[in-house]
Amino acid sequence: KNQVEQSPQSLIILEGKNCTLQCNYTVSPFSNLRWYKQDTGRGPVSLTIMTFSENTKSNGRYTATLDADTKQSSLHITASQLSDSASYICVVNYFGNEKLTFGTGTRLTIIP
């Protein structure tokens, strides 16, 4: 069973619009949750990291939220740009070890 589930699998939006991506996880005990952006054929790039005690973290037009009680996170992108087209991956870290557990990602396409 995949311990990090993301939805939707893919999303197409118009340039300038906002969108929200969802992540549900079952990893326990939980230490921190990360969102990465991965362009096709490239390595993931970190967007945000939140510990279990944080509710929200922003990085420019990206805002991540975390509800550790319901084990849900979201990534909100405002005023989307063509360069936002990529896969967005939710990644969860077990408490006490270094292993990162990756979700399958949401493929976001921004169209002009």
Partner 1 sequence: EPEVTQTPSHQVTQMGQEVILRCVPISNHLYFYWYRQILGQKVEFLVSFYNNEISEKSEIFDDQFSVERPDGSNFTLKIRSTKLEDSAMYFCASSVAALRPDTQYFGPGTRLTVL
Give the interface with partner 1 as residue ranges (CB under 8 A): 2, 31-32, 34, 41-46, 49, 51, 89, 93, 97-105
**Is 99 or 112 the residue whose CB approaches partner 1 more closely?**
99
Report the distance separating Cα 31 and Cα 93, nearest Å.
Answer: 6
Report the distance separating Cα 63 and Cα 87, nearest Å.
Answer: 16
Q: DSSP E strands: which ranges in the chain?
A: 4-7, 10-14, 19-25, 30-38, 45-51, 56-59, 62-67, 72-77, 86-94, 100-102, 106-111
**Is 41 or 60 the residue whose CB approaches partner 1 more closely?**
41
**Is 34 or 71 the residue whose CB approaches partner 1 more closely?**
34
Question: Rounded to the nearest whole angstrom, what is the least distance from the CB of residue 34 to partner 1 in the complex?
Answer: 8
Question: Rounded to the nearest whole angstrom, what is the least distance from the CB of residue 29 to partner 1 in the complex?
Answer: 14
Question: Rounded to the nearest whole angstrom, what is the least distance from the CB of residue 96 to partner 1 in the complex?
Answer: 10
Other CB atoms within 10 A of residue 92 CB:
23
Question: Rounded to the nearest whole angstrom, what is the least distance from the CB of residue 98 to partner 1 in the complex?
Answer: 5
